[in-house]
Amino acid sequence: MYVSAGIGFILLFGGGELLVKGAVAIAKRFGVSPLLIGMTIVAFCTSAPELVVSVNAALAGSSDIALGNVVGSNIFNVLGVLGITALVAPITVSPHSLRRDTAVLIGSSVALALLAQAATIGAAAGLVFIAGIVAYVALSYLAELRRPDSPAAALHGRETAEVAAPTALWAGLAYLAVGLGMLIVGSRYLVAGATELARAHGVSEAVIGLTLVAVGTSLPELAASVVAAVRGHSDVAVGNVVGSGIFNILSIIGVTAVLRPIHVAPQLARVDVWVSVAVALLLVPFLLRWGRVGRAAGASFTVLYVAYMLMLLGG
């Protein structure tokens, strides 16, 4: 089970990296604008590990892993990814560049928390979420086309620039194909290993999804954010985290619920979905008021995440 989970992590991490680079390379070759690439392709591809794992888990009858993966990833992205990134280099961002996206993330988190109280997230809710992500992308893109010099447009452009994509079309296609294959195989290994770990250690699948699986599928965001911070582009980390959080909820929960209804564990409905709402709200003072996450805040974020993990594993 440990070997299976370990193989899954490695394949998901490598597959996620190749998928992003391949998709960006193909988009550039076909003349897609850096703005649209940053808003859609980068955000969606960095969430691809979560998508494949959650869909596979749901189809295998492990709804707790599927939902726990999304909720846990969003919590880890804010507290873990931003916390570690800020420790590497303080994050400074224009508050105007993230007002819309932060509001959408908070709204999506609240919507998911409320839906979770019904104990089942069905196909109808999934279709609404899918419509929501389509509307969000379309309206955001049109708004930034009208104002190409806006801080939000500039941030999405920098997200694209951070991806070291190949220039040849054949290489982009190869990266994309290999990346997809690694994600599919890796997700199967990870779900199988995580399920066995839960049974062997008497831990609920929800806790495994919130911790082991969530951290594993979020490794591409962590790697991309730390590399961006080292290069002096720490604001890209925030764009990655907020964009990924929106796609995690609207796309992944949407697609998964359409394919198979998601049954919500009582623990997730009672505690963890609300933790994800609180974590999203934590972004407001740091990003929208102060425009900065310094090293002290980064250390606090990291400590909060460790405390949350200990609470889950201790419970």
Q: Where are the domains of the chain?
A: 2-314
* Tokens standing for residue 189: 């290994």
Residues in a beta bridge with 293: 91
Q: Give Cα separations from 291 to 145, 242, 294 (angstroms).
A: 24, 14, 10
What pLDDT does residue 306 have? 94
The stretch 119-135 carries a mean pLDDT of: 94
Number of H helices, E strands in the chain: 18, 4
Question: How big is the chain, counted in residues?
Answer: 315
As a whole number of angstroms, the distance between CA 31 and CA 105 comes to: 29
Least confident residue range of 1-15, 42-56, 92-106, 215-229: 1-15
What pLDDT does residue 91 have? 86
Under the banding of pLDDT at 50, 70 and 90, the label for residue 126 is very high
- Percent share of the chain, pLDDT over 70: 92
What pLDDT does residue 150 have? 66
Q: Give Cα separations from 248 to 92, 161, 286 (angstroms).
A: 24, 22, 22
Q: State pLDDT tens for residues 53-99.
A: 888 888 888 888 889 999 999 999 999 999 999 998 888 887 777 78
Q: 2-314: which CATH architecture?
A: Up-down Bundle (1.20)
The stretch 39-61 carries a mean pLDDT of: 80
What pLDDT does residue 25 have? 84
Least confident residue range of 26-40, 94-108, 181-195, 253-267: 26-40
Confidence (pTM): 0.88
**Between 38 and 257, residue with greater pLDDT:** 257
The stretch 206-229 carries a mean pLDDT of: 81
Q: Is it the case that residue 159 has pLDDT exceeding 70?
A: no
What pLDDT does residue 63 have? 87
- Taking a C-beta distance cutoff of 8 angstroms, is the pair 203, 33 a contact? no
Q: Is it the case that residue 272 has pLDDT exceeding 90?
A: yes
Q: Is it the case that residue 2 has pLDDT exceeding 70?
A: no
Under the banding of pLDDT at 50, 70 and 90, the label for residue 234 is confident
